[in-house]
Chain A
């Protein structure tokens, strides 16, 4: 008897969960057609998850996601080659005027500089960090730590995390060719967590006990600080459309702002931004 009741409760729970998950997808029920998305590489994981979820729900919809970078996103959306062009930066005045683009910020991508928890250094200036990545600062002793060679880790070319880090901290500083390269946030965590003399950077959502975030110019790296603007090694991720979106494009953008979309954004290591901010 008890088992039956339990089973019934379980079935009910699954049905409810199913309904709750499916709700934001309901608008796609009777839709058909193709949506092409291109641009920023940091956006790809979010776009892919949303596209997969939509295409699994309704097989008549086809959504393609390509990279290319922010420049490609602006150009292709502006010329009508794709429905949504993604950028990792706000549109320039000239781009809005030339193409008549409408912009939708949907996530914050924060990057934290991290070290091994055994390292005594917990704060650095942006200038010191730039020096370390340029290869001019080579020893932890030079930045107030215990003397020992600094093992520098970075991400591969084209990584969105690297793009933000380069833009906000390195600026025009040339990267030393001796910087070790790892190809994911996970690999970066493993490398820094094992190496007491390591420095690296990860998406801010990836900080945990095995690695320690560095306070940069007095700014504490955390999800909250990135969201409220007091931590500035961040950038917004934008979707852009030519004119006001309609049909499938509009539905896709709504979906990114839905609870499902927020989940995809968090899973990709970013912070969701509510609509209209």
Chain B
């Protein structure tokens, strides 16, 4: 039974309203970023040095840190997620799979500040004593960000794997495939678009997280020379500068950081859309 006309109208106007709010937020941030670029010509906003005292407001180190940190977290997290997903579906030990699934579902609901807080007291001292440095670094933040992204990515992969297994399971079994062979030779190759969209989602989450990098990455505005160096991401930069209400170049750099972050997440979600569209058409 199709829904009555009036409720359709309701739903449409609500959707329009929500869409309008989102569009205005987007427009506001983009305009502010462009305005920052226009007004901040003499402030070298895209410079390599952040030193407000000397009139240098470069955010290049922060852009580099955001990209490096989220890509490394993604590389680690995606691999672990794929492993988790395969372990879940091979059913070598059903009880273990059940436990793993329970843990993953629980982890999706965990606020990132909990990860950050626990890591400050557990992981940071461990890395400081084992690898040197202060422990507040690219590596620490990367590991925790990877952990944070695992549940989302695993659940995306798991959904795709379950439906593909169902589609091809009987045929494969009839051909004499073991479950492992089925997984490796049939399911995984046809899962490519979902593996990719899980990666894009994970990247977006790692890029957008604020608390984990602020609490763990050390926040020094520099280009890292090693994974043990302290770095400052765009999100951490925004939260640090925002905590002390200031005008001038600092403020403009925030607007620009916001614009860059939004552009990246827009690209990420468009990519996901495109991939799932292509996947469905196939």
Contact = CB atoms under 8 A, between A and B. Distances in A.
A10 B134 CA distance: 51
A177 B222 contact: yes
A156 B136 contact: no
Interface stretch (B68-76, B83-91, B242-250): B242-250
Contacts of A174: 51, 54
A195 B128 contact: yes
B239 A157 contact: no
A104 to B, nearest CB: 22
B220 A177 contact: yes
Interface in A165-202: 166, 174-175, 177-183, 187, 190-191, 194-195, 197-198
B133 A158 contact: no
B81 interface: no
A85 interface: no
B103 interface: no
A180 B230 contact: yes
Interface residues of B, number: 36
A156 B244 contact: yes
Interface residues of A, number: 30
B250 A158 contact: yes
A174 B49 CA distance: 12
A179 B51 CA distance: 12
A178 B244 contact: no
Contacts of A194: 120-121, 124-125
A166 B215 CA distance: 23
A181 B61 CA distance: 14
B241 A156 contact: yes
B136 A191 contact: yes
Interface stretch (A65-73, A88-96, A211-219, A249-257): A65-73
Given A149-B132, A177-B220, A67 B230 contact: no
A41 interface: yes
Interface string B145-183: 000000000000000000000000000000000000000
A151 B52 CA distance: 22
Nearest to B221: A177
Given A177-B220, A182-B219, A158 B244 contact: yes
Interface string B46-75: 000111111000000100000000000000
Among all A-B residue pairs, the 3 with the closest Cβ atoms? A158-B244, A181-B219, A151-B134
Interface of B: 49-54, 61, 120-121, 124-125, 128, 132-136, 214-215, 218-222, 229-230, 232, 239-241, 243-247, 250
Given A157-B241, A181-B232, 16 more contacts: A66-B245, A69-B246, A149-B133, A157-B250, A158-B246, A166-B53, A177-B49, A177-B51, A177-B221, A177-B222, A178-B220, A180-B219, A183-B239, A183-B243, A190-B120, A194-B125
8 contacts: A156-B241, A158-B243, A174-B51, A177-B50, A180-B220, A181-B221, A194-B120, A195-B125
